[in-house]
Structure 1
Amino acid sequence: MVQSSPANTDIDASLIATLRVLASDKFGKEVKVRAMADGGSHMCMISRRLQQLLDLEQRKLSVPMEGAGRCGIDSKTFVDLKISPADGGSSTGEWIRAGVMSVVSGKLPPTQFDISDWNHLDGLPLADETFNMPDDIDILLSVEFMARIQGNKIIRDHSNSNRPVVSYTTFGWIVYGALPSSQKFASLSHLAIADCQRIADNLERLWRVDAVKEKSLLTSEEARCEQIFSETIKRAEDGRYSVAMPIMDNPPKLGNSLRAAIARQLQNER
């Protein structure tokens, strides 16, 4: 997940979809926070603040994370949590796995704007009733998650094609898209990518390190033992195997142990 710095030059503004959700742990403890939907994010992310509020158990993130231009990302752990609609929607909740970041995004939208004449919103249970007012973002929802909750209903303002559209989700209707040219503010970009190629490279290096050598280095005596084994092993009619015993050409002498061996033998015969 990477957040760009605000641009210095004003550009035509775009509204990123936001949702009010109830984030909860496995014990049912809930916190109402604002989430944002970003079609460029491959993984859900949450803020360190939310992780601490719910005291969510963290586990080490084994997937390296990078932003655009191979920028480093400070997410090293992930958590599991449940999110449910807070302002509207039919969903009973969805479990997500999310990386933990110090900050997910700045306040969205950057400035407040007037929606009093946006008649195409009338009567719709919005996922975020105050989407036009700046507020902190504690959750970034991945493109995979949004595809799971999004429907196929879209409402447009036919009186002004420059206004954002409204799209149905099971968490309520979300508002996103281009804003009128009178609405200008700096843009923010977000991206979360799991670097699968790096994982594959690391696995390949691990396999090379752990690979068993095809030929091991044997001493002359070990090589002779293998040769005797391969040349003399055979299977008898009763199913048992037999093999010649390797004998050293010049075995070392046993030393002066005859007297001690005789004494031990006599002792055992008593």
Structure 2
Amino acid sequence: MHAQVSSEGFLATAIVDLVNTQGESKSCRVFLDTGSQANFITESVASFLKLNRKLVDISVSCVENISTEIKHSVSATLKSRFSKYSKNLEFLVLNRITKTMPSVEINRAALEIPKDIFLADPEFYKPSEIDALIGVKLFYKLLCVGQITLKNNPEAVLQKTQLGWIVAGEINSSLSKNHVQCSFVTHSTPLDSNLTKFWEIEEVPSIKLLSQEEQACESHFKNNTQRDPAGRYIVRLPFKENKDKDLAMPGFYLPHHAVIRADDITTKIRFVFNGSTKTSTGVSLNDSLMVGPKIQDDLFILLTRFRSHRFALTADIEKMYRQVLVHPDDASKNFVSPKSRRIWGKIDSPLKKSSGRTPRGTTLSHIGDK
């Protein structure tokens, strides 16, 4: 903002002690700003006091929405030199808060300040650097009863505070200048950052985090899966590391039952095997096999994709699980020594043993989805 002015809009400053958690202090010149939503401290003071830093992501905006990104905040105790007042405050860290204040030196004698007044900043009239800024959250709590209007400058006042008497308002100046300081400051998490976080929360992760067992199962599938001349997939059983212990068992017998659906076009009778049935040792086939990651899309994705187009088609793979073969080394051993045996036939008829296809209802069935 630029204007030709013959008076100085005087902003209040004070000298205080800032103290860290170890009790070490530094005398600092602070700017009391009712137009700021946050407190600020310079990088040099924060480093001098060795204040512990917290990571933040805050956008600080001022006039015309000019913004600065803040990455760190610190805490320190503000102590008054005028009274016993102290307050622990959180500050946002900036390299520099503002230019020297005031912008030009003021004739202190012309203000006729009473001699018995304890000024919060005895050298308020000299341009000096600002070490910290106290915002509106604390400013009005610092005010005390007591206000004096300066005789030669009726638009300026002396205001009593917990930090001492501060000088603020319009002060006549013989110097004409074309620069006006404005310290209106707001802080907030950036809008684009808020939107980003919102979408990150709502977004389905693009990368799936796999457990160790899921990673091992994926590696097993990639290293051992083959295709026969007809193109059918041939899989190996992904046994857990303790499979040697399980091998000592005679094998697994898988109970099964038929699911009959006369209205089904492709599969009217579907056999479902119970791979979770415990053996006499209390271990089932599913207990001995690793479980791979879920490879189907989430229902939300399916519904979203379904609604993305005007027309949708559905299809079914006939006897899908039965299309996947078990490796001969596993199948010939009835799923390893013999790991699994599926018994066919009635109770009073000769029993038949079958193997070689992926049974629906076992942990291995998930591999068949591959």
**CA positional deviation for 1:165:** 0.2
1:61 lines up with 2:53 in the alignment: no
1:166 lines up with 2:169 in the alignment: no
Match of 2:198 in 1: 204
1:110 lines up with 2:103 in the alignment: yes
**CA positional deviation for 1:59:** 1.4
Pairing partner for 1:139 from 122, 132, 135 = 132
* Higher normalized strand content (fraction of residues): 2
**CA positional deviation for 1:160:** 3.0
How far, CA to CA, are the matches of 2:4 and 2:200 in structure 1? 48
1:46–1:98 contact (8 Å) kept in structure 2: yes
How far, CA to CA, are the matches of 1:168 and 1:144 in structure 2? 18
Q: Which amino acid aligns with 1:83?
A: L
Match of 2:172 in 1: 180
Q: Which amino acid aligns with 2:72?
A: T
Q: Secondary structure at the match of 1:50?
A: helix
Q: Report the TM-score, using the length of structure 2 for normalisation.
A: 0.53
Structure 1 unaligned segments of length 5 or more: list them: 212-244, 265-270
Q: Equivalent pairs: percent with the same residue? A: 17
Could you report, residue by residue, the CA deviation over 1:128-168 in whole angstroms, capped at 9, with x for unpaired residues?
111111111110110111112112422112x3344520111
How far, CA to CA, are the matches of 1:201 and 1:147 in structure 2? 34
Could you report, residue by residue, the CA deviation over 1:75-116 in whole angstroms, capped at 9, with x for unpaired residues?
321110111123xx2243111111111111111112222222
**CA positional deviation for 1:30:** 0.9
1:120–1:155 contact (8 Å) kept in structure 2: no
Q: Report the TM-score, using the length of structure 1 for normalisation.
A: 0.71
How far, CA to CA, are the matches of 1:210 and 1:151 in structure 2? 55
Alignment of 1:1-270 (within 5 A): 7=2, 9-86=4-81, 89-157=82-150, 159-182=151-174, 184-185=176-177, 186-195=179-188, 198=191, 200-209=194-203, 249-250=270-271, 252=322, 255-257=331-333, 261=338
* 1:119 to 1:68, Cα distance in 2 relative to 1, 3 A: closer
Q: Secondary structure at the match of 2:44?
A: helix
How far, CA to CA, are the matches of 2:64 and 2:56 in structure 1? 21
Moved over 6 A (4+): none
2:4–2:176 contact (8 Å) kept in structure 1: no
* 1:152 to 1:102, Cα distance in 2 relative to 1, 3 A: same
Q: Secondary structure at the match of 1:32?
A: strand
How far, CA to CA, are the matches of 1:161 and 1:109 in structure 2? 16
Q: CA RMSD in A?
A: 3.1
Could you report, residue by residue, the CA deviation over 1:192-246 in whole angstroms, capped at 9, with x for unpaired residues?
31225726534432332269xxxxxxxxxxxxxxxxxxxxxxxxxxxxxxxxx88
How far, CA to CA, are the matches of 2:7 and 2:109 in structure 1? 20
2:102–2:126 contact (8 Å) kept in structure 1: yes
Q: Which amino acid aligns with 2:78?
A: I
Could you report, residue by residue, the CA deviation over 1:26-54 in whole angstroms, capped at 9, with x for unpaired residues?
11111111111112111111111111211
> With CA pairs under 8 Å and 6+ residues apart, which has the higher RCO, 1 or 2?
1
Q: Secondary structure at the match of 1:12?
A: strand
Match of 2:236 in 1: none
Q: Which has the larger radius of gyration?
A: 2
How far, CA to CA, are the matches of 2:115 and 2:34 in structure 1? 26
* 1:171 to 1:200, Cα distance in 2 relative to 1, 3 A: same
Which segment is superposed worse, 64-73 or 173-182? 64-73
**CA positional deviation for 1:182:** 2.8
Aligned residues: 223
